[in-house]
Structure formats: structure tokens, C-alpha cells
Amino acid sequence: MSMKAWKTLTNGILKENPTLRLVLGTCPTLAVTTSASNGIGMGLAATFVLVGSNIVISLLRKVIPNKVRIPAFITIIAGFVTIVQLVLQAYLPEINESLGIFIPLIVVNCIILARAEMFASKNPVYLSILDGIGMGIGFTCALVTIGAIREILGNGTLFGMELTKGIIDPAIIMILPPGGFLAFGFVIAMVNRLTNKKVEHNPCASCGMNCGKLAEGREEVASK
Amino acid sequence: MKELLIIIMGAILVENFVLTKFLGICPFLGVSKNLSNAIGMGGAVIFVMTVASAATWLVYDKFLLPNGLVYLETIVFILVIAVLVQFVETVMKKLLPPLYKALGIYLPLITTNCAVLGVALLNIDRGYSFIESLLYGFGGGVGFTIALILFAGVRERLELSDIPETFKGLPITLVAAALVSLAFFGFQGLF
């Protein structure tokens, strides 16, 4: 494996981890991490969509006109999401049940659109596949970590196994919505501490849609 | 009448889209830095969520369901929302320039706001009627706006506080969001 390919693969796992460093896809990160196994389910579903859409977008990168690229990307992504949805409904109904509307909502997950816009539309197929796999693994690892923390503290179990029974009473709040924000906040703080770098405080900075920049642009326009 | 009131109040307080359903977290964290942006974004989201609820409900009930194309729900909904946002933007620019000036910049961002696609999918999941969907979309938008405005206030206070180095920036914002979410948790069991 060449150096560049290796770098592309590991980029998403550590240096530019989509959840912990780029802070993309926060909605599913907070919503589905009530248990570690939910995190795996969501992570793998998103990885499949990410790799699939990266392949197709990379193949079509010279065909799609620049002006309609975002709608085109979204349609391609939605196609792969529908595949995941139907497969989960048919073969893994429990996972489908516990992830609920967050499976169809993978369509609007910034990670996927951001990788389409920033990587797959500019790079050859084999690199785009590696990028998709790397980012997908990075996303899955982050979800499993947060899911495990919340499951242990909030339910006293890990992957359904009893861990703290009779030792500590679980704090149910950790598997309720406030616990999601709390756990994610502490994990990001931990990452800050370990890497000695601060996570950019603009969650949309690396997303293709540039929400943050547009909002800031408005202030500039208003001040002129 | 009572059911409709429950749907709308439920969407605003009990199952607030941002704080208990985790929909639309990106704009919630990205655009809540100051109050005027929060109000602009909130207004645009209320508008688009209401219109999108109506449009996707009609498309589902009149086109997808009779033709047995329910499995295309996700693709069709996101396209309807994208087209709708573009359409609203163009019409607003022509007919309501002052409103466009206030909300226009936020409109393109809303296509990929998961609260909008989320409300469309939830309406169908829950089998709401047309009027119920409309109100749920509106209530969801209002709930989003209230959360955004409240949180913009919290963040303005955070700017002035002394925060440990590792928590500066995003971590403390998330911890503060946890506390606001905890406060909204008090509405659970209101109905």
C-alpha cells in the first residue's frame, strides 16, 4: 500500500476523526448512543453509505455539472440510504427498530455530504473507497466509545452484559437525552486534553454546506 | 381540538426537536452564538418545517401511497425539501424582499437540516392527518427556535465565565446544552 493510500485511510480514524475532531454528524452521535451496540449498528450503516456514495460520486465526478452537484450528491446518498433501510428492515429488524428515523436521516448526515464534496468529487475511486472506510471506522469508533460510556453509567451494562450490578446503581440520566450532551462534551474535552489541541468550535466548518460561514457572511454583509 | 393542542404543545415542550429528539444539532451549535442569528435561523426553520410537512404529506398520500412507491420515501422527501427550499427562496426574493433579507441567507442551509427531513418522516411514521402534520411541523419549528434562543442567551453568559482550559469551546457548550436539556426534561409527563 502506498504512503498516500495509507494516509488517506488513517486520516479519518485519528487525525480528522469526523465526530471527535471535525464534529460532524452530531445528531446521530447524540441520539443513538444509548448503548454500544446501537453505536456499532449506526456506525456500520453510515460506513456502507459513505463507501457506496464515495465510489459512485468519484466515478461520476467528471460527469456531474458543478452547478447541480449538491442535489446530485444528495440523490446518490439517498439511494444508498434506501438500500440500507430495506436491508435492515428485512434482516435486522431489531436494529432498525432501535435506530428508528436516524437510519433515513443518514441522508442529511454532514459527514457523508462533506466527504462527497471535499474528497470523492476530487479524487480517484480507490482513494475515495479508502477515505470512506477510514471515515466510517472513525465514526463507528467514536459512536461505540460514547455508547459504551453511556451504557455503563446509565444502565450498568456493556453490550448487554451486566457489569456494575450490586456495585454501583446506574444513573439513568446518562441514557436519557441530557446524558447524551454530557457524555459527548466530556469525551471531546478528553480528546482535547490528550491531543493538546482544541477542537475547532465551528461544527459546520468542514461540512460541504458551509452553514457557519454563510451565517458569518451575513454578519459581514449587515455590518457593511 | 384538544388533540391538536396536545400535538403542538408536545412538539414545542415535551419532545423538543433539539433537546430531546436530537434533530438539528448542527445549526443549534453553529448558529446559537448570538441572539439575532438565532432568531433569523429560527424563523426560517419554522417556515420551512411547516411548508415541508404539508408538501411531503401531500406527496406521500397522493402520489407515493396510491402508486405503491412507499420505499422511495427517503429519496423523494429529500428532493421535495430541496426543491421546496429553492422555490421558497426564489418566491420570497421576488415578492417579500424584507423577509428575504431577514431569513434568506439561512434558507439554503436548511435543506440538510435533519429537523426538516425528520419532521416529514415522523409525520408519516405516526400516521398524522394533513392538519396534524402541519401543526406538528409548525410546533417542531417553534420548539427549535425556543431552544436556539434560550441557548444563545446561555452562550452569551458562557463567554464571560472562567472555564477550565480543556473545556473551552465545544465541550462546555455541550455540557451547558445538557443542563438546558435537563430543564426541558421537566416537561416530560406534562400531558
Q: Rounded distance, CA A193 to CA A117, Å?
A: 31
Q: Does B189 touch chain A (CB under 8 A)?
A: no
C-alpha pair distances (Å), A102 with each of A108, A119, A165, B21, B57: 10, 24, 31, 10, 19
Q: Where are the alpha helices (DSSP H) in B23-129?
A: 25-30, 35-59, 73-95, 97-103, 107-110, 114-125
* ipTM of this predicted structure: 0.86
The reported pLDDT for the residue numbered A193 is 85
Q: Does B158 touch chain A (CB under 8 A)?
A: no
Tell me the count of A-B CB pairs closer than 8 A.
Answer: 157
Q: Does A199 touch chain B (CB under 8 A)?
A: yes
Domain that holds residue A214: 3-223
Residues of A in contact with B179 (CB under 8 A): 178
Q: Rounded distance, CA B181 to CA A37, Å?
A: 24
- Interface contact A189-B167, CB threshold 8 A: yes
C-alpha pair distances (Å), B163 with each of A201, B110, B154: 15, 32, 14
A126–chain B nearest CA distance, Å? 27
Tens of pLDDT, residues A193-211 = 888 766 654 544 444 454 4
Half-sphere exposure of B26 (CA within 13 A, CB side): 32
The reported pLDDT for the residue numbered B54 is 93
Residue of B nearest to A184 (CA): B174
Would you say A149 and A125 are in contact if contact means Cβ atoms under 8 Å apart? no
- Interface contact B106-A215, CB threshold 8 A: yes
Residues of A in contact with B113 (CB under 8 A): 108
Domain boundaries, chain B: 6-184
Burial of A26 (C-beta count, 10 Å sphere; 0-12/13-18/19+): buried
Split into its structural domains, chain A has a count of: 1
Q: Sorting pLDDT into bands at 50, 70 and 90, what band is A219?
A: very low
Tens of pLDDT, residues A173-183 = 888 889 999 99
Give the one of B75, B82, B178 whose C-beta lies nearest to A185's C-beta: B178
SS3 B190: coil
Q: Does B168 touch chain A (CB under 8 A)?
A: yes
The residue among A17, A27, A195, A213 with the most chain B CBs within 10 A of its CB, best to mutate, is A27
- Interface contact B73-A104, CB threshold 8 A: yes
- Nearest 10 degrees: Cα torsion B122, A34, A182, A193: -120
Q: Rounded distance, CA B41 to CA B28, Å?
A: 9
Using the predicted structure, report yes or no on whether residue A212 has a pLDDT greater than 60: no
The reported pLDDT for the residue numbered A1 is 65
Residues of A in contact with B114 (CB under 8 A): 27, 105, 108-109
The reported pLDDT for the residue numbered B27 is 80
Tens of pLDDT, residues A35-68 = 888 899 999 999 999 999 999 999 998 898 888 8
